Amino acid sequence: MIPVRGYANRRVAVLGLGRSGLATARALSAGGALPVCWDDSEARREAAAAEGCLIADLTRPREWEGIDALIVSPGIPHLYPAPHPVVALGQEQGAVLDNDVGLFFRSFATQEWENLQVPPRVVCITGSNGKSTTTALLHHILDACGIPSQMGGNIGRGVLDLDPGREGEVVVLELSSYQTELARALAPDIAVFLNLSPDHLDRHGGMGGYFAAKRRLFAEGGPERAVIGVDEPEGRFLAAQFREEADTGEPVIRLSVKSKLDRHGWSVFARKGFLAEWRRGRQVASIDLREMATLPGAHNHQNACAAYAVCRSIGLAPGRIEAAMRSYPGLAHRCELVGERAGVRFVNDSKATNADAAEKALLAFPRVRWIAGGKPKEGGIAPLVPLFDRVAKAYLIGEAAQDFATTLGDTPHEISGTLEVALAHAAAEAEPGDVVLLSPACASFDQFASFEARGAAFTAAVRTLLAG
């Protein structure tokens, strides 16, 4: 736990009592603050009260007496499309707004670090897609290379639930736009921007607000090293804005999976399955990514480039990075290789809850038996029509099945209804070289509690099938 500093003996409101909210309440208490907690969910309030949290109805003005700050959990809107009523009231009452990430950066560094030869460093990773995989991959590489590390933020442990920093440690944080937007303090040693595609636009008031939330990690954070994907206009703008030296590119390392970045400074890019590192107009390293089964497709090659760039920034040699990458087990529910039989691979990509995410998986494999469907998202799978030639057959489940069938048209498909039926039929019809791919392009809530539950059901059924 990271005890929060700066609020000793002061009342601090905490809105939202999920994973990060509870961790925040505990960390505030550990730092001597007096957290006052609220959640719209009665069940969460009761669970927090059972832990000893002070619960007060923060929708009532009288509860704000003596409260200095309001710490807002990431999923709660504070501006667009409309501020949560507690946030609006907190503003009226003069409370400072912050979140757990802001508290982390105010509290992580301590005076004890003066006695360390190599103080801890913090790497923050943001972007629309690939954050979790890049974070988990980087954490794995560091661990495999013997560098002490912790992983948290939007994956794993909440930032305030992490342990105090150790000698030579690297803390790897996945940060969403929700987290970077509100944090009053941002101070990464290395910041990573992967990519940008439309998402959460209602929450940020449009694409400009969404990019601005992510840009804060660099503009406010002032990292010593900026690793920036330049395959979209926003990334190219960000790289140009934060580059300080034309020759070396310092402090920016550019990333791409679309262009050969062989000029202007330091770059890492992937083309035709090979990762290349270039500095000052010459290649200094190359890694063959093609046989890394847990990092399939261009989107994962971008993740690999980002993790590689961070590792090079902290001094790891290319050979050590490559060896560690080859032992990466993959991240659950994200193009996760579950098993293989008779030349047929079974891949769990349950995290693909929209067409944009499913596109990455379809591009990763040349011939798929595609299990898709669930609770539909706006636009359905129409954006994926150009990739239907990769689909040997689609097996459709859930509420979206009929609409998806209409969009598929002449592409072979069936309405399977349930995940179990879809998997059984796909496995029976698959040929060597096929990939049976769960990449639903839908939310899970019609048949499962979460995408994790959906992925776990697929994984369990595949393992039962392969054991039979």
CA distance 221 to 230: 20
Would you list the DSSP string of 272-332?
TTEEEEEETTEEEEEEE-TT-TTS-HHHHHHHHHHHHHHHHHTT--HHHHHHHHHT----T
Q: CA angle 376-377-379, nearest 5°?
A: 110
* 127 labelled binding-site residue: yes
Q: List % helix, strand, coil for the chain (3-state, nearest 5).
A: 40, 25, 40
Nearest to 196 by CA among 207, 185, 188: 207
272 annotated as a binding-site residue = no
CB atoms within 10 A of CB 342: 8
Q: How far apart are CA 343 and CA 116, in angstroms?
A: 52
132 annotated as belonging to a binding site for a ligand: yes
Burial grade of 405 (CB within 10 A; 0-12, 13-18, 19 or more): middle
Quote the Cα angle for 169-172-175, to 5°.
150
Could you tell me if residue 151 is left (phi over 0), alpha (psi between -120 and 50 degrees) or otherwise beta? beta
Does 360 count as an annotated binding residue?
A: no
Instruction: Tell me the two tokens of residue 450.
Output: 């979460």
- The tokens for 256 are 């791409």
DSSP state of 269: E
Determine the Cα–Cα distance for residues 220 and 223; give it in Å rounded to an integer: 9
Q: What DSSP designation does 444 have?
A: S
How far CA 382 is from CA of 50, 152, 223, in Å, comes to: 48, 35, 40
The 3-state DSSP class for residue 210 equals: helix
Pairing of strands 266-271, 274-279: antiparallel
CA 364 to centroid of chain Cα atoms:
19
Q: What CA–CA distance (Å, rounded) separates 175 from 101? A: 9
Could you give the dihedral angle defined by the CA atoms of residues 154, 155, 159 and 161, in that order, rounded to the nearest 10 degrees?
140
- Residue 41: what are its φ and ψ, rounded to 5°? -85, 125
- For residue 81, whether the previous peptide bond is cis, meaning omega lies within 30 degrees of 0, is yes
Distance CA 97, CA 90 (A): 8
Positions at the binding site for ATP:
127-133
Binding residues: 127-133
